[in-house]
């Protein structure tokens, strides 16, 4: 068994009323993605509660991360979360929707492992 650990920090401007995909990954066959840490970020403090992060597995919201409106961890120090796994062949996607009155810079910080089967 081989384990590859990843630490990712991404941010992007999100226009008014827009939804962007900030992270997208298809787990290789015979592997498992195990998410262990998550942090989110907004440059505009007034936009909290009006910007939504969603973690999706094959396009379906992954409870309890299907509608994140509040801060979890920080961009430079993602919080340990209850780990969840995505099996090989499945897709994980993180989207950000901006319902604020102006464009915002938003981001995520992730730590996860790819566990490769033998």
Q: Is 16 helix (H, G, I), strand (E, B) or coil?
A: coil
**Residues above pLDDT 70, as percent of the chain:** 99
Residue 70 token pair: 């509040």
- Say how many C-beta atoms besides its own lie within 10 A of residue 41's C-beta: 21
Q: Record the pTM.
A: 0.93
Indicate the domain borders of the chain.
2-116
Return the CATH fold of 2-116: Jelly Rolls (2.60.120)
Give CA–CA dist 53/69, Å, rounded.
7
Mean pLDDT computed over 49-58: 98
Residue 25 scores a pLDDT above 90: yes
Residue 117 scores a pLDDT above 90: no
Q: What is the pLDDT of residue 74?
A: 83
- Say how many C-beta atoms besides its own lie within 10 A of residue 42's C-beta: 23
Convert the pLDDT of each residue in 95-105 to its tens digit: 999 999 999 99
């Amino acid at each position: 068994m081989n384990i590859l650990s990843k630490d990712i920090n991404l941010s992007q401007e999100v226009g008014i009323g827009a939804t962007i995909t900030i992270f997208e990954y298809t787990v290789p066959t015979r592997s498992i993605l195990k998410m262990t840490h998550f942090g989110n970020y907004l440059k505009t403090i007034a936009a909290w509660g009006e910007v939504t992060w969603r973690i999706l597995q094959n396009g379906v919201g992954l409870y309890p991360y299907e509608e994140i409106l509040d801060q979890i961890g920080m961009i430079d120090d993602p919080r340990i979360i209850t780990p969840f796994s995505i099996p090989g062949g499945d897709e994980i996607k993180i989207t950000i929707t901006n319902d604020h009155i102006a464009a915002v810079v938003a981001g995520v910080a992730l730590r996860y492992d790819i566990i490769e089967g033998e």
